[in-house]
Amino acid sequence: MKTLNIFYIGGEWVGPSAGSTQMDIVNPATEALTGRLTLGTAEDADRAIAAARAAFASWSESSRETRIALLERIIERYRARLDDIAEAVCIEIGAPITLCKNLQAAIGLAHLEASLETLRHFEFETQHGKSYVRREAIGVAALITPWNWPLNQIVAKVAPALAAGCTVVLKPSEIAPLDAVIFAEIMHEAGTPPGVFNMIFGEGRSVGARLSSHPDVDMVSITGSTRAGVEVAMSAAPTVKRVAQELGGKSPLLILDDADLKAAVTSGVAQCMANSGQTCVAPTRMLVPRERYDEATAIAAAVANSITIGDPRDPATRMGPISNRAQYEKVQAMIRAGIEEGARVVAGGPGKPEGIAQGFYARPTVFADVRNDMKIARDEIFGPVLVMIPYDGEEHGIAIANDTEYGLAGYIASSDPERARRVAARLRVGSVRINGAMLDITVPFGGYRTSGNGREYGREGLAEFLECKSVTG
C-alpha cells in the first residue's frame, strides 16, 4: 500500500496545501486498493509556478553544454530505473508486463535519447543577410499528461522543454501516479537545478485550470481528450499563452485493393488492440474494398479471438484490463451503442471475457456492417473496439477516411509504394504509417482539426517551446 502525499517543487519534496483531497489508487486487474494519492489545490499550482518562474532566468540562459549534461544524467538514472518504471505502469494501468518493459518504460528512454540528439544539432540562431533570428525559450511551460502511455507523454514534453531552456510544471494523470513519482525521483537524482522541474498532482478543474490560466505560465502542452484540450484552450485564452494540444483520434486504416489482405488485417487488428485499445493513434476504423470485405472480417475476427487476455503479470498475456472503472464503463456503453445501431459483432461484444470475473477487462471486439455515420465510427472509444467499413473504389475509400472530425493519424496498406505515397498525401492527418510501419519519434507528431495543434518529437517538438526573435542592424 503506497501513500503518495508529497509534491516536487523547487527541488524539494513538499507537503500539500490546506484543502487538498485524497483518492484511491486502484489496480485495474484486481480492483484492489493499492494506495492513496493526495490531490493538490490551486495554491499548490501557484507554488510550483513560482518556483519555475524563479528558476527561468538562469536556466533559459544556460549553455547548450549544460543542458546536454543534464539530459545525459537523466538518461543514466532513467536507465537504472527501467524495471521500477515497468512495474509501476503494470500496477497502475494494468498493461501487460512485457509491454511495460518493452515499450511503456522503454519509450521514455528513447525520447530522452532522441531529445538529446536533437539538442546537440539544433540551431538556436540563424543568419539572414544583415539580420539574424534567435530562438529563445518561451518561458514557464505547464505540461498536462494522460494515463494511457504515461512515460511516453511525460518525457516527450519534459525533455524538449528542458532542452529549449524552459522551466516546467508537470501535472501527470492521477490515474497513473506511481511512474510519475519515479520520474520525479530521477530528475532529482540527476541534479536538475531547483525549480527547473516541478511536479504536482491534481484534478483538471482545479490544478489544471490554474496552470492554464495563470499569467506566469507562458505555454501549456496537453495530451488528452478533445474536451480537455478545448477547456485548457479556453482557460488559457485571456492570457494569450501558447497552447499545444495532442488530442483524440479515430484513425483510419485504408486497405487498398492491391494489399496483402491477411497481413494488413492482422497488423491492423494488433495495432488497434494494443494497450487494450487505449492509444490515441490506434487504427480503429478499418476500411476494406467491398469485394474483399467478408474475407477481411473473418480474418479480423480470428485475430481478435486469438488474443491472450489475463493477468498483466503473466508474460503470456497480450491484453490486460482497461485502466480504470470509468473508462471500462464507457467502452461497454459504446459496444452496446454499436449493437443498437445495427452493427454486427463478429468478435467479442459486451461484458468481460469468459472466465474473468474480477478486473476492468473488456473483450477484444470487432464490428462489421458499420456505416461511417454510426456513433461507433464517429466517436473515440478508447478501448479494444475495431469497426470495419466497406468502400467502393479508391476515391470512396479516401473520402471515408477523411470523413471525421479528427485528424491525428492514418494508415495505408498497399503493395505499390508510389500509390501508397500518393494516397498518403490526400489524407487529412498529422502522420501516416504505411504497411504496418512503427512510430518514428524523430519526426513530428500531432494532429489536424480536433485532434489538436502543434507538434511533438524531433526538431519540431523542441521548437514548440521556443519564441523567435529577429535582430536587425
Beta strands in 200-335 (DSSP E): 219-223, 242-246, 252-255, 285-289
Cα distance between residue 48 and residue 200, in whole Å: 8
Judge whether 219 and 465 are in contact, CB under 8 Å: yes
Residue closest to 304 by CA, chosen among 294, 292, 296, 313: 296
Dig out the grid coordinates for 244 from the structure.
499545444
Residue closest to 321 by CA, chosen among 24, 29, 26: 29
CA 21, 24, 27 angle in degrees (round to 5)? 160
166 is annotated as an active-site residue:
no
Residues 6+ apart with CB under 8 A from 423: 254, 256, 394, 398, 412, 414
Catalytic residue among 92, 246, 380, 456: 246
Beta-bridge partner residues of 292: none
Judge whether 406 and 450 are in contact, CB under 8 Å: yes
Q: Which amino acid is at 130?
A: K
Radius of gyration of the chain, Cα coordinates, nearest whole angstrom: 22
Cα distance between residue 377 and residue 367, in whole Å: 10
Judge whether 140 and 217 are in contact, CB under 8 Å: yes
280 is annotated as an active-site residue:
yes
Judge whether 448 and 407 are in contact, CB under 8 Å: yes
Judge whether 249 and 447 are in contact, CB under 8 Å: yes
Dig out the grid coordinates for 232 from the structure.
485548457
Cα distance between residue 4 and residue 11, in whole Å: 17
CA 192, 183, 108 angle in degrees (round to 5)? 105
Cα distance between residue 254 and residue 279, in whole Å: 18
Residue closest to 441 by CA, chosen among 286, 319, 281: 281
Cα distance between residue 207 and residue 217, in whole Å: 13
Catalytic residue among 100, 280, 456, 464: 280
Q: List, by residue number, the catalytic residues.
A: 246, 280
